[in-house]
Structure 1
C-alpha cells in the first residue's frame, strides 16, 4: 500500500504547479539552481529509478541482508541537509510544459503503484532495499520515503517561486 502522505503530497504538488504560469516554472531564480520544472522532472526520474530498483529487489530469490547502518529517513525533510542528486537523477536544463511533466509524473506514479500493489504485504514489511544515505528501508518504508522526498522538493519549489516573485 502506498503511504497516505505520499498520495497527499503529490496532490499538493499539483495544486502548487497549477498555480504557476509556464514561464515562471521554467525560470531560474539563480544560475546555479534548478527551475521548478527541473525539480518536477527530478521527481519523475527519482520515482522511475526507485520503481526499477524495487522491481529488481522483489524478483530476487534470496536477497542478501544489508550491512549498512540504518539512519532515520525522515531526515529527508531537513532542508539544511543537502546531498547532490546522482547524475542519473539530475534533470536536463530545458523548457518543459506542465502537461509534459504531469504526463511523466502520472505515469511514474502508476508504475510505482502497480508494483507496490502486486507485492505480498509480508514482503513489503520484511524485505529491505538500501538507500544510499539512510541505509536499509523496508519496501513499505520506500512508499513513505517517496512522499517525504517529494515534500522536501515541494518546499524547494515554493522557495524558488518566492525568489522569482522578488524579481517580478
Structure 2
C-alpha cells in the first residue's frame, strides 16, 4: 500500500496545478530558478527514478544495509519538507527548461504514480520493510520509507510552487 501521506500530497499537487493558469505554470519568477512546470517535471523524474531503483533492489537477492531509521525515533528523511535546508537535485533529476502543458504534466505524474503503485502492490510487504536503498543525504532507508519519502518530497516542492506563485503574483501586480 502506498503511504497515505504520499497519496494525499499527490492530490494536493494536482489540485494546485489545476488551479494555476498554464502560462504561469511555465513562467520563471526569478532568473535561474525553476518554473512551477519544471518543479512538476522534477517530481515525475524523481518518482520514476525511485521506482526504477526500488524495482532493481527488489530483484536482487543479496542483503542490503540496515536502515538508519532503526537507530532513531524520528528518521532524518522526515525533515524533507523543511525548506530552510537547501538540497541540490542530482543532474539527472533536473528538469529541462521547456514549455509543458498541464495535460502533459498530469499524464507524466499519473504514469509515474501508476508505476509506483504497480511495484508496491506486486511486492512482498516484508521485502519493502527489509530491503534498503541509500539516499545521498539521509543514508540507508527501507523501500517502505522511500515510498513515504516521495510524499514528503512532494510536500517540500508544493511549498516551493506556492513561493513561485507568490513571486509571480507580486511581479504581475
Bin of the TM-score, shorter chain as denominator length: over 0.9
Of 118, 129, 132, 1:125 maps to: 129
SS of corresponding position for 2:133: strand
1:151 is matched with 155
Instruction: For residue 69 of structure 1, report the CA deviation from its aligned partner.
Output: 5.2
**Partner residue, 2:55:** 55
Q: TM-score scaled to structure 2, two decimals?
A: 0.93
The answer to whether the 8 A contact 1:57-1:63 is kept is no
User: Could you tell me how far 1:142 is from its partner in structure 2?
Assistant: 0.9
Does the Cα contact within 8 Å between 1:77 and 1:148 map onto a contact in 2?
yes
- Following TM superposition, the consecutive aligned residue runs of length 4 or more in structure 1 with deviations greater than 6 angstroms are none
Candidates 79, 83, 94, aligned match of 2:98: 94
Map of 1:136 onto structure 2: 140
Q: How does 1:67-78 map to 2 (within 5 A)?
A: 72-78=76-82
Aligned residues: 167
2:40 aligned partner: 40
Corresponding residue SS for 2:80: helix
Give the structure 2 partner of residue 113 of structure 1: 117
Where does structure 1 lack aligned partners over 5 or more consecutive residues? none
Flag structure 2 segments of 5+ consecutive residues without an equivalent. Answer: 70-74
